[in-house]
A and B are shown apart, each in its own frame.
Chain A
Amino acid sequence: GAVVSQHPSRVICKSGTSVKIECRSLDFQATTMFWYRQFPKKSLMLMATSNEGSKATYEQGVEKDKFLINHASLTLSTLTVTSAHPEDSSFYICSAYRQGRPYEQYFGPGTRLTVT
């Protein structure tokens, strides 16, 4: 099966600092990756679509200057939460499609961000 990893799994940071989360497809190439956030007992909300070699497409209401996405290679996308605040505390999950197989998305294990 296809494996997607995320790093770190948990991070605690102070308000005002920036945090980078990595999403890697370990055994396949992913032209497209997605970033979601999930609040406790809530559904997954798509934040942005990350395309290799081009700018990310952000969903309405998501601040692109606050959530910086870079998809520099076919196996790596990064999400940087800039100037984090307590309200950014959430579970961030990435997903990826296998190149040429546009149906099933493979999810990473998620990153629990806590901003103090």
Chain B
Amino acid sequence: GENVEQHPSTLSVQEGDSAVIKCTYSDSASNYFPWYKQELGKRPQLIIDIRSNVGEKKDQRIAVTLNKTAKHFSLHITETQPEDSAVYFCAASNAGGTSYGKLTFGQGTILTVHP
């Protein structure tokens, strides 16, 4: 089955700095890579996702890059703000057509943005 490794487990930055979280996956059939933000006791919230036919995607301060050859993808947050502090999870699945792929999650990164 799929295995997703996520690093670092904790990340501390100053407000305004950039934050980068990296994930690797093992199953070359995976084609969908979402990133979630989870606050304590709440549901995961999708912040950005990328499909395997795209190498990069950006949404305001958030961007994701995908390297299919190396089987890794990264989350980039620029101009971090204290409200970005949360746990971030990467995930991977093999989805498409009528196949509803199950998500395999990384271990999570606790991001702390200091004012």
Pick from A32, A34, A110, A112: contact of B43, CB under 8 Å:
A110
The residues of A that contact B101 with a CB separation of less than 8 Å are 102
Could you tell me how many residues of chain A have their Cβ less than 8 Å away from some Cβ of chain B? 22
- Shortest CB–CB separation between residue B99 and chain A, in angstroms? 6
Main secondary structure of the interface of A (DSSP, over half): strand
* Pairwise interchain contact A109-B104, C-beta atoms closer than 8 A: no
Bound-state Cα–Cα, A46 to B43, Å: 14
Bound-state Cα–Cα, A110 to B38, Å: 12
The residues of A that contact B96 with a CB separation of less than 8 Å are 102-103
The residues of B that contact A107 with a CB separation of less than 8 Å are 43-45
The residues of A that contact B108 with a CB separation of less than 8 Å are 42-43
* Pairwise interchain contact B89-A43, C-beta atoms closer than 8 A: yes
Chain B residue at minimal CB-CB distance from A110: B43
Could you tell me how many residues of chain B have their Cβ less than 8 Å away from some Cβ of chain A? 25
- Shortest CB–CB separation between residue A110 and chain B, in angstroms? 6
Main secondary structure of the interface of B (DSSP, over half): loop
A80 interfacial by beta-carbon distance below 8 Å? no
The residues of A that contact B95 with a CB separation of less than 8 Å are 102-103
* Pairwise interchain contact A44-B105, C-beta atoms closer than 8 A: yes
Bound-state Cα–Cα, A95 to B51, Å: 20
* Pairwise interchain contact A46-B104, C-beta atoms closer than 8 A: yes
- Shortest CB–CB separation between residue B107 and chain A, in angstroms? 5
The residues of B that contact A45 with a CB separation of less than 8 Å are 105
Bound-state Cα–Cα, A43 to B103, Å: 12
* Pairwise interchain contact B100-A31, C-beta atoms closer than 8 A: yes
* Pairwise interchain contact B102-A102, C-beta atoms closer than 8 A: no
* Pairwise interchain contact A104-B46, C-beta atoms closer than 8 A: yes
- Jot down 30 A-B pairs with beta carbons below 8 A, ordered by A: A31-B100, A32-B100, A34-B103, A42-B108, A43-B106, A43-B107, A43-B108, A44-B44, A44-B89, A44-B103, A44-B105, A46-B102, A46-B103, A91-B41, A93-B43, A95-B103, A102-B95, A102-B98, A102-B99, A103-B49, A103-B51, A103-B95, A104-B46, A107-B44, A107-B45, A108-B43, A109-B42, A109-B43, A110-B42, A112-B41
List chain A positions with a Cβ less than 8 A from chain B.
31-32, 34, 42-46, 49, 91, 93, 95, 97, 102-105, 107-110, 112
